[in-house]
Amino acid sequence: MTGETSPLDARRAALPSSYRLFYENPVVVDHTEGVWIHDAAGTPLLDVYNNVPVVGHSNAHVAERVSAQLRTANTHTRYVYPAVAEYASRLESLFPAALNKIIFTCSGSEAVDLALQVARFVTGKEGMIATSHAYHGTTAATHAVSPSLSRHFVDDRIALVDVPEEALANGDAGEEFARRVREAIATLEARGVGFAGLIMDQVLTSDGVFTDPVGFMAPVREAVRAAGGVFIADEVQSGFGRTGTHMWGFDRHGIVPDLVILGKPMGNGLPIAALVGTEELLNTYGETFRYFNTFGGNPVCIAAADAVLDEIERLDVLANVVATGTLLREGLSATLAAHGLEATVRGTGLIAGGDLTAARETPAESKALVADIVNGLRDRGVLISSTGPRGTVLKVRPPLIFQSEHVVRLMSALDDTLTHLST
């Protein structure tokens, strides 16, 4: 590319159309720090969206640990590198005792793909259940449990369950959710594929962010157990303290899954993810299949992941998430209400969904409103996104070091955006 080509043109020339950009006015990044993304024009943009840099963009401790490791060793798991098992042990200590084995991968997609293989191999069944607007990954097998991306890959081996939105709003959702899961199990059995298991984001992000009432996952978990299936908790969104009260989303609901997916925040941006599970399941799979992931659990990514745990402790991240999260949801509710919008703010900790479905007459109008808010905020230097089956939910999910001053900045920009939209 010559100096005359714009960054967007250079990107279009080199990358295919599968690459999509956020915002009508895309962000060109220059550098990042903490909760700030500085663009090429020198404007600081407040990051209220990214859940990968969980202990802050360009975190110094993570950078130091990774830099030192790069100069020391970066081998693979067919040799012993003691720091890998040391980190695995440290991480396992944060889980219920039954979840005492871990397999490292590069991405959440790889971890989910492997979890599906384990569930299917161990049960001898093929059928999996996911929510009807779930997202769990980009491999062919994980696409099939990601109807939010496309239904192209959803085949007869998959049964989808609608999140019981009304029951959740009324606070008696667990039994209704479990009833729908039992129905889906019956569907899979009727199709002859049998029931291997269920996978569920523990904060139901792409379904629209559903976190309460606490405990509603428990009847679902029991329905899966009763039918002999494997319960896979996807903690890519909810893990590593996102909820504030707990390290893991499943813990907040008081359940113990069979398998757990860890992803995005695990290495603060270094590609590392994992499948955590019971010895019984993972060793049963492992005795028949070796699993070697070239980069999975390499010492450099492990150093990043270990540094993330250091920072979560040092910065008392979970306490910050609880305190800032409360301000965030209160601020969102108050600001949306101040502009006369019929809104429901869901979520816990630093995952919030501002549901504007009822703010307009039709879902299409509500979706347009949400898109206008997202783009309006971006033009005011604040980055959020949208989610939910109809695209009518504001997705607010900042790095976990987000502070009250940042909530104030977000609300000020939201207030200005809404004022501008209503004129």
Restricting to residues 38-97, which ones interact with its own copies according to CB under 8 A? Answer: 40, 50, 52-53, 57-58, 60, 62-63, 66-67, 70-82, 84-86, 88-89, 92
Minimum distance from residue 345 beta carbon to its own copies (Å) = 24
Q: Tell me which residues in 115-134 interact with its own copies (CB under 8 A).
A: 116-117, 121
The DSSP bridge partners found for residue 262 are 274
Q: Residue 190 CB, nearest distance to its own copies (Å)?
A: 23
Q: Which is nearer to its own copies, 128 or 359 (CB)?
A: 128
Nearer residue to its own copies within complex by CB, 181 or 302: 302
Residue 175 CA to residue 122 CA, distance in Å, equals 27
Instruction: Candidates 220-228, 240-248, 286-294, 389-397: pick the segment binding its own copies (CB under 8 A).
Output: 286-294
Confirm or reject binding of residue 300 to its own copies (CB under 8 A): yes
Q: Of 31, 191, 314, 420, which one interacts with its own copies (CB under 8 A)?
A: 31
Looking at the Cβ atoms of 73 and 421, the one nearer to its own copies is: 73
Nearer Cβ to its own copies (110/216): 110
* Residue nearer to its own copies on the CB measure, 140 or 361: 140
Cα separation of 77 and 194, whole Å? 35
R_g of the chain computed on alpha carbons: 21
Q: Strand, helix or coil at 165? A: helix
Instruction: Name the packing angle between helices 299-314 and 82-92 (round to 10°).
Output: 40
Classify residue 402 as exposed, middle or buried by CB count within 10 Å of its CB (0-12, 13-18, 19+): buried
Range in contact with its own copies (rule: CB under 8 A) among 137-145, 180-188, 327-335, 368-376: 137-145
Q: How many residues in the shown chain lie near its own copies by CB under 8 A?
A: 100
Q: How far apart are CA 337 and CA 283, in angstroms?
A: 53
**Footprint on residues 176-215 left by its own copies (CB under 8 A):** none
The answer to whether residues 90 and 302 touch, using CB atoms and an 8 Å cutoff, is: no
The amino acid sitting at 127 is G
Residue 135 backbone zone (phi > 0: left; psi -120 to 50: alpha; other: beta): beta
Which residue among 54, 55, 106, 369 contacts its own copies (CB under 8 A)? 106
Binding window for its own copies (CB under 8 A); candidates: 99-107, 208-216, 227-235, 392-400: 99-107
Neighbours of 313 (CB within 10 A): 10
Within 276-316, where are the H helices? 279-288, 299-314
Q: Which helix (H) or strand (E) holds 197?
A: strand 195-201
Question: Residues 388 to 407: which contact its own copies by CB under 8 A?
Answer: none
Binding of residue 27 to its own copies (CB under 8 A)? yes
Tell me whether residue 114 or residue 178 sits nearer to its own copies (CB atom): 114
Of 244, 257, 269, 398, the one binding its own copies by CB under 8 A: 269
Query: CA of 363: how far to CAs of 74, 168, 274, 359, 368, in Å?
Result: 50, 20, 37, 9, 9
**What's the half-sphere exposure (Cβ side, CA atoms, 13 Å) at 282?**
21
Q: Is 375 near its own copies (CB under 8 A)?
A: no
Q: Please state the closest distance from residue 5 (CB atom) to its own copies, in A.
A: 9
Q: Which residue of 157, 252, 264, 346 would you call a contact of its own copies, by CB under 8 A?
A: 264
Residue (27 or 218) nearer to its own copies, CB: 27
**Both tokens of residue 16?**
């295919």
Kindly state the smallest distance separating residue 276's Cβ from its own copies, in Å. 10
Beta carbon of residue 172, minimum distance to its own copies (angstroms, whole number) = 35
Smallest separation (angstroms) from its own copies to the CB of 167: 31
- 230/257 Cα distance (integer angstroms): 8
Q: Nearer to its own copies by C-beta: 89 or 362?
A: 89
Tell me the residue length of the chain: 423
Q: What's the rounded Cα separation, in Å, for the pair 358 and 362?
A: 8
Residue with tokens 């830099």: 67
Comparing CB distances to its own copies, the nearer of 294 and 419 is: 294
